[in-house]
Amino acid sequence: MARKNAFYAQSGGVTAVINASAAGVIEAARENKKHIGKVYAGRNGIIGALLEELIDTSKESKATVAALKHTPGGAFGSCRFKLKDLDSSRREYERLIEVFKAHDIGYFFYNGGGDSADTCLKVSQLSEKMGYPIQAIHVPKTVDNDLPITDVSPGFGSVAKYTAICAKEAGLDVASMCATSTKVFVMEVMGRHAGWIAAAAGLAQEQAGDPPHIILFPEIAFNREKFLKKVQQTVKKNGYCVVVVSEGARDKDGVFLADAGSVDAFGHKQLGGVAPVLAQMVKDELGYKYHWAVADYLQRSARHIASAVDVAQAYAVGRAAVEMAVAGKNAVMPAIIRGKGKKYSWTIEEAPLSKVANVEKKMPRSFISSDGFSITQAGRDYLAPLIEGEDYPPYKNGIPQYARPKLEAVPKKLKGKFVL
């Protein structure tokens, strides 16, 4: 194949390590100049392609690209924008082809989760179905850890580490105050559909009695009585109770606890926040003084305490995507495969996108204890290696020094404006 330019885009919610994947793609592409010309990044993801807003990553210095490895957020901008199938979104796909053609793009690297894998699969079919020759490779990313085949989704390991550390640290705080003050601490973490992130907090528990004492998963229907009883038992036994709750915790009818909660002064339903709902429930029913935290974006942007394993894997899938492209592959995703044996090891293998798109990996029920409030040894065995190692960013004046890419625009070549 003749030398072609590459398009790279970040998609969906960003992570602490998605830029490490970007660095992997860009660095590997620079080492494969025979096949790949320039890497153009979409400004704000796939929207950048549709609007012909491309960023010329060749203008970024070697140091800046290297610094992406320790920079959270999505350096080129991401978006929540889903392309439908080739027929329903024909106008968009035709526009993509128009832009790709104008900029001589023959490689499409899409860095995202499940929805993006689906889009990437559609793009991979453009050659066959719409006659434009392109190779599309999906670069896995999502804190939700719900991509199939790959043992873990890059981004998850770091949020898992953050959650475990926070549970441990806040637990020590509450333990010291519980004699006369806060007895129950509720920490809300991400996970609308699955409890992977909440489960990771369980790693903070290194000895019996350690926090977190209760984990609430979306997978286990919330039972008010059982929960309150467990809180009370825990406070009676340990003096305090640390609860980690998935934002997606719900009751047996599937109603999110966060929605069951409060209305504002105007009678509007208050959006979000399962932690305050649970804290208030504990106060009302058991009378315990509480505190609560909602980590929200802090958890997925906490590059300052990223998992070294996660950073290495995010970078590696970026590089592997380019290597697969250069090897002529299409419609594939580099997947992380866990080695057998006690000592954790991993390799990267090729997964067909057709088996990735629209398949959601669930957390096995065997990872959750029978009472539904903690993780099992099997869960622990899976999660523990993913948070291994600390990959600290460089600091100056006490502040992490994150990359500041130039984000130089590629001059537009097309006339006419595309309306999203």
13-42 residues near a copy of itself, rule: CB under 8 A: 13-14, 16
Q: Residue 169, interface with a copy of itself (CB under 8 A)?
A: yes
The contacts of residue 203 (CB under 8 Å, 6+ apart) are: 160, 164, 380, 383, 384, 387
C-beta closer to a copy of itself: residue 231 or 320 = 231
Given 56, 85, 104, 144, the catalytic residue:
144
Q: Residue 397, interface with a copy of itself (CB under 8 A)?
A: yes
Q: What Cα–Cα distance (Å) separates residue 307 from each residue in 15, 161, 165, 201, 286?
A: 12, 6, 11, 14, 38
298-317 residues near a copy of itself, rule: CB under 8 A: 298, 300-305, 307
For every residue of 313-375, DSSP letters joined together read HHHHHHHHHHHHHHTT--SEEEEEEEPSSSS--EEEEEEEGGGTTT--PPPPGGGB-TTSSSB
Give least dist CB 271 to a copy of itself, A.
Answer: 7
Q: Residue 113, interface with a copy of itself (CB under 8 A)?
A: no
Q: Residue 75, interface with a copy of itself (CB under 8 A)?
A: yes
Residue from 130, 221, 228, 260 touching a copy of itself (CB under 8 A): that is 260
Q: Residue 264, interface with a copy of itself (CB under 8 A)?
A: yes
Contact between 393 and 303 under an 8 Å Cβ cutoff? The reply is yes
C-beta closer to a copy of itself: residue 90 or 297 = 297
The contacts of residue 191 (CB under 8 Å, 6+ apart) are: 144, 197, 198, 217, 218, 246, 247, 248
C-beta closer to a copy of itself: residue 267 or 341 = 267
Residue from 88, 181, 354, 366 touching a copy of itself (CB under 8 A): that is 181
353, two tokens: 């996108």
Q: Residue 344, interface with a copy of itself (CB under 8 A)?
A: no
Q: Is 144 one of the catalytic residues?
A: yes
Burial of 152 (0-12, 13-18, 19+ CB in 10 A): buried
Q: Residue 419, interface with a copy of itself (CB under 8 A)?
A: no
d(CA 126, CA 132): 6
Residue from 6, 68, 147, 165 touching a copy of itself (CB under 8 A): that is 165
Give least dist CB 296 to a copy of itself, A.
Answer: 4
Location of structure tokens 């106060």: 283
How many positions of this chain bind a copy of itself (CB under 8 A)?
Answer: 89
Report the catalytic residues.
144
